A and B are shown apart, each in its own frame.
Chain A
Amino acid sequence: MALIQVSGLTKSYGPKQVLRGIDLAVDEGEIVGILGPNGSGKTTAVECIGGLRTPDAGQIAVAGHDPRGAGAELRELLGMQLQQCRLPARIKVGEALALYSSFYTDPRPNEELLERFDLADQRGTRFVNLSGGQQQRLSVALALIGRPRVAFLDELTTGLDPSARRDIWSYLELLRNDGVTMILVTHFMEEAQYLCDRVVILSEGRIIAEGAPDEVAGSGGSQEISFDASTDIPLTELQELPAVTDVSVARGRVIVHGGEEAPQQVIAAMTQRGIPTQRLRITTPTLDDAFLSLTQHNHHEPEAPEEQ
């Protein structure tokens, strides 16, 4: 029985249908990423699963609790960090941690969180005087202070510089080792690929792809093999290899596109002919490519004229 079970999640805001029947199951200890373009319903989905919004239809269970009308018991085991949440302007970092600490039965010590999130020097700084990245880190720390079993994190590292981002990733990996189950909403593909066991791509309120990051990535793009061009390269023969879809030459490079088997087939063919492949490069498709191709295929006519 999955720890988080969602079926048929549907939600509209007035005439606009934001979620059109989402099914999701997350097992204990899994990290699932929810990706999608703006407006695809990712944040609404997570808010519904966390009990902050009431869906129009659907069954939701988080660790056996229905999040609608969730009591303190669910809140003890579910930590949420959402985008438009703020703290009072004049509260200091240390004070915010102390306040939130008091809500939970077994909170993490403030010192540990200040260290981990690199906020030790900001203990006495007011929230309004923190940088965007610091506010973000404090927000994540507050979501995790109660040692939740499940964490929902929305746009976790948006606006952070690469080193701050890496720090948060390594903290999340520690949590994963502790067995915390997580749902991450992100549009940062590298983050999904790095942290998630499974990703789900949402577009216009529906799940259009689901699976391990590599699987989903592979479904959307092709392998690209390139090497220096020379006159003795058998272009037509390469074209005819089973896994190859197209061959082209540009700016002194031969570029071959194909499926999973293409790189091996190309190299085998070249080796067989005794032709060296100079400056060989193989690019595997990323989640970015998959995301773009999947969401473009799913996208219908634009509803509004393009902005200038």
Chain B
Amino acid sequence: MTTTTVGPTPGNSLLQGRQWHAYRAHLLNETRLHAREPAALIFGAILPVTAIIVMCVFPAAREPVASMGGVSVITAYTPVLILFSSSILGLTIIPGTLGTYRESGVLRRLRTTPTSPLSLLTALITIISGFALLVAGFIMGIPAVSGAGIPTHLGWFALAATSSTVCFVAMGALIASVVSNAKAAPGIGNAIAVVMWAASGMWFPRAGFPDWLRTVADLTPGGATAQLMLDASTTGSVEWQPFMVLLVWTLGSTALATRLFRWE
């Protein structure tokens, strides 16, 4: 007899049931552990939140300005700050956490159990996405509360912010899976974040990109996010292509992260 009977149903479906239990247990456990060591999370959040608070203090920041293309400083910068916090939190937190776990032998310990990397990764993606969305909520909410207005076409804007946040977190999970060094992993995340900012037009406006560069940039999450947020803030008509770009990057990153996950 080579298989043990573990329950009334055939082995496989019961074990898949365990993945759900494992996911929930990891969710609870990782939330607690991150709450006990919040430094990295706070670091990724504090700069953009402080920036938006400062902007809301100055009445001039609420006035439309020609150099910003006819919108106020706050309106122009809200997407930038959200992009900044989502990309930093998404691309560096999970790489740091898993890198530390890998180096200290925590992953090796988990490897001896029936849990799969997918349940741990999904739990971490859920938690960090949740936190990053909370920060994005603050960045949108503080101007709203202080009377500086909300992004026009809030629904699309919120959807864009959510999609891009989850996408960055998934990419972070991929970095965390394949880069085994605990110090290199967040560093690589940072570097990719900077590339995303470039693609979003932070250093040089997207309108000024040559056509080929614009196409390439729009195929990256950074560029796609910028496009969506710009459209949501101005015309209100968003296209489906950038959403598709984000979706593909999100699903692709998660699938690769599980496949290529390195325990050691």
Interface string of A89-103 (1 = CB under 8 A from B): 011000100111111
The count of chain A contact residues (Cβ–Cβ below 8 Å) is: 35
Q: Are B112 and A88 in contact (CB under 8 A)?
A: no
Task: Decide yes or no whether A64 CB sits under 8 A from chain B.
Answer: yes
Task: Decide yes or no whether A75 CB sits under 8 A from chain B.
Answer: yes
Task: Decide yes or no whether A84 CB sits under 8 A from chain B.
Answer: yes
Residues in chain B near residue A241, CB distance under 8 A = none
- Complex CA distance for A268 and B21, rounded to whole angstroms: 70
Please tell me which one of the listed residues B6, B7, B11, B112 contacts residue A52 in the complex, with CB atoms under 8 A apart. Answer: B112
Q: Are B24 and A102 in contact (CB under 8 A)?
A: yes
Q: Are A99 and B25 in contact (CB under 8 A)?
A: yes
Task: Decide yes or no whether A281 CB sits under 8 A from chain B.
Answer: no
Identify whether the interface residues of A are mostly helix, strand, loop, or mixed.
loop
Which B positions have Cβ atoms within 8 angstroms of A?
2-4, 6-7, 11, 14-15, 18, 21-22, 24-26, 29, 32-33, 36-37, 101, 104-106, 108-109, 111-116, 263
Q: Are B106 and A88 in contact (CB under 8 A)?
A: yes
Q: Are A102 and B3 in contact (CB under 8 A)?
A: no
- Complex CA distance for A100 and B114, rounded to whole angstroms: 9
Task: Decide yes or no whether A214 CB sits under 8 A from chain B.
Answer: no
Please tell me which one of the listed residues A80, A84, A142 contacts residue B105 in the complex, with CB atoms under 8 A apart. Answer: A84
Q: Are A73 and B3 in contact (CB under 8 A)?
A: yes
How many contacts between A and B, using CB within 8 angstroms?
92
Q: Are A90 and B6 in contact (CB under 8 A)?
A: no
A55-84 interface with B by 8 A CB criterion: 63-65, 72-73, 75-80, 82, 84
**A136 → chain B closest CB, angstroms:** 13
- Complex CA distance for A84 and B108, rounded to whole angstroms: 8
Task: Decide yes or no whether A106 CB sits under 8 A from chain B.
Answer: yes
Task: Decide yes or no whether A87 CB sits under 8 A from chain B.
Answer: yes
Q: Are B18 and A50 in contact (CB under 8 A)?
A: no
**B234 → chain A closest CB, angstroms:** 46
Residues in chain A near residue B25, CB distance under 8 A = 98-99, 101-103
Most buried by A among B21, B101, B109: B109
Q: Are B105 and A85 in contact (CB under 8 A)?
A: yes
Task: Decide yes or no whether A296 CB sits under 8 A from chain B.
Answer: no
- Complex CA distance for A118 and B36, rounded to whole angstroms: 26
- Complex CA distance for A90 and B39, rounded to whole angstroms: 14
- Complex CA distance for A98 and B27, rounded to whole angstroms: 12
Q: Are B18 and A72 in contact (CB under 8 A)?
A: yes
Q: Are A100 and B113 in contact (CB under 8 A)?
A: yes
Q: Are A90 and B37 in contact (CB under 8 A)?
A: yes
- Complex CA distance for A106 and B104, rounded to whole angstroms: 28
- Complex CA distance for A146 and B21, rounded to whole angstroms: 14
**B222 → chain A closest CB, angstroms:** 32
Q: Are B112 and A76 in contact (CB under 8 A)?
A: no
Q: Are B18 and A143 in contact (CB under 8 A)?
A: no
Task: Decide yes or no whether A105 CB sits under 8 A from chain B.
Answer: yes
Residues in chain B near residue A85, CB distance under 8 A = 105-106, 108-109, 112
Measured CB to CB, the nearest residue on chain A to B119 is: A103
- Complex CA distance for A101 and B109, rounded to whole angstroms: 14
Residues in chain A near residue B14, CB distance under 8 A = 105
Q: Are A86 and B112 in contact (CB under 8 A)?
A: no
Residues in chain B near residue A75, CB distance under 8 A = 112-114
Task: Decide yes or no whether A149 CB sits under 8 A from chain B.
Answer: yes
Residues in chain A near residue B105, CB distance under 8 A = 84-86
Most buried by B among A72, A77, A84, A146: A72
Residues in chain B near residue A84, CB distance under 8 A = 105, 108
